[in-house]
Amino acid sequence: MPSTTTISRISILSQNVNRNYELVSNILEERKSSFDLLLIQEPPWNFIRRTVSATNPEGEAVVGPPIHPDWMVIFRRPKGEDDRPRVMTYVNKRLAAMRPAFRTDLADHRDILVLTLWGEDNTPLHYINVYSDQNSTAINWLCDNVERLPQLQCMAGDFNCHSSVWGTPDTKATIMSQRH
């Protein structure tokens, strides 16, 4: 008889790491027992090593994010050298039975990552990780596509949407925070 894992609560950490490889490596180790999902904005994308190449005697460069044995990492594959991911989600391997799925059918966007976990009775549980740049690219996409998104368990990230309403009195409001 196959064993089933029942998860009653998903613990989430969302953080902009400002491309700091060491910070992400430390978070992966230090939070492996206390969090289930890590929603990372502005993740590091570094040279890792060289691999064998049929065309380059020095080998081809392997680049990517930090990895850890307790975490699965999900990100949109870059389409070129200047297309590094701006959001990345780490799923703790204890959630493997929930069949984590990267849902590009719901959002195929460099700054938006939709993750689906499958709960009890095969119920889809959707999570969105967002990084919105100074042009509010992700926020605009979300506003334009809100009707096609499923009900969410959580949407978190760095929205770069500043306002004196929720910041300090000297916070310079962005156009997006004034619009919505």
- Residue 4 belongs to some domain of the structure: no
Model confidence pLDDT, tens digit, residues 150-167: 999 999 999 998 777 766
- Residue 110 belongs to some domain of the structure: yes
Note the pLDDT of residue 171.
58
The range of the structural domain enclosing residue 92 comes to 12-179
Evaluate if residue 170 carries a pLDDT over 80: no
20-44: average pLDDT: 98
CA 107/CA 23 separation, integer angstroms: 27
Model confidence pLDDT, tens digit, residues 46-81: 888 899 999 999 998 888 999 999 999 999 998 877
- Residue 26 belongs to some domain of the structure: yes
- Residue 7 belongs to some domain of the structure: no
- Residue 59 belongs to some domain of the structure: yes
Q: How many CB atoms lie within 10 A of CB 126?
A: 18
Residues 127, 35 contacting (CB under 8 angstroms): no
- Residue 6 belongs to some domain of the structure: no
Whole-prediction pTM: 0.86
- Residue 5 belongs to some domain of the structure: no
CA 160/CA 134 separation, integer angstroms: 7
Note the pLDDT of residue 177.
47
Q: Please, what sign has the CA dihedral across residues 21, 65, 18, 35?
A: negative
Q: What is the CATH number of the domain that holds 107?
A: 3.60.10.10
Give how many domains the chain has, as a whole number. Answer: 1
Mean pLDDT score of the chain, rounded to an integer? 90
Note the pLDDT of residue 2.
43
Model confidence pLDDT, tens digit, residues 119-144: 999 999 999 999 999 999 999 999 99
CA 71/CA 94 separation, integer angstroms: 9
* pLDDT more than 70, % of the chain: 88
- Residue 1 belongs to some domain of the structure: no
